[in-house]
Structure 1
């Protein structure tokens, strides 16, 4: 049976003034060791406990003004759901952020809908905790990993057909129009006086930016654009 453990060397974990104290909760001994090795100052504030309930009890020793980072990868989903369902019983000053290796936006959104105040990728945790706590304190918003934010923005842009053309360069738009009219790479190269390899390079970028993998997917994507007719003659 795994026993909970805390390491209390270092500065006192008391909370003073109006600051939010970052506290990390995890059941993963490897992640716990990685954190306190990378940032020794985190050692007093990193709780390693197999039970989420036990970890939360330990966290109360730090006071009520907490920014809890919960390693959601190391606890059962049912335990996380129970915890989020009991948020009303927690101090109002306590904020909860999920930390995970998962980049699936559907899963991220589900956690945010469940009541988590933010979501941070584990690879970004080490150097970011003080800044995250400071931003929350200054009411600059709750933590959301830059990589996750970029993915949100990408998906938002891709969901707005009228904005597709802003993703493409002038040359890519020229090549796209010719592709949509059935021109081969060889014909496009001759028309634009560039090499076939250059055409292939731009075509690859078009596919990547428009998130398609084939000519048929590209055609379907363009047909949903409000200005699709501009690419069809």
Structure 2
């Protein structure tokens, strides 16, 4: 997808603040500091649209970013950060659960994990929860540029085994630094939104990805 227009729209804390234009929504879930903001910036071809922070747990709302007037990327609060109070974590959990269960515009959840490490307990809980409620999921393994190519397959296997990855889901290896996986991820998003999105020419660095449970 070639993004020619992108913008931050709103930080929402409840249904009364969600956009009402009925565009499809793609949600991003993951632990704090996993790189969701950097992923959004790379996907939307903007350097600082989604603000990255050295302070984990900063995002406390559902942040809506619109792409080409065709769809939204919706950034969830990061989970699993100890300095966020139990009360805040409970409030985040209720907000996210309400959105995931009731939002008709939601078409796909991107579960963002760090390719360098096994998925956390919270990642596993989120993945299992999404499966239980039959939400479509694509696992996005970020920071691929931090690992030698020769070890990619080993780390992908580690992520899949730790999560209990299901073959009918998608998985993409991603790097916000190099753009690895960007075109592949847009292609998957397009398949869930049914929009005739204009595709970029494939980048040679984007040739390695894992879809639909393929090794």
More helix by share: 1
More strand by share: 2
Q: Taking structure 2 as the reference length, what is the TM-score of the superposition?
A: 0.44
Higher RCO, 1 or 2 (CA under 8 Å, sep at least 6)?
Answer: 2
Q: Taking structure 1 as the reference length, what is the TM-score of the superposition?
A: 0.41
Task: Point out the structure with max Rg over C-alpha.
Answer: 1
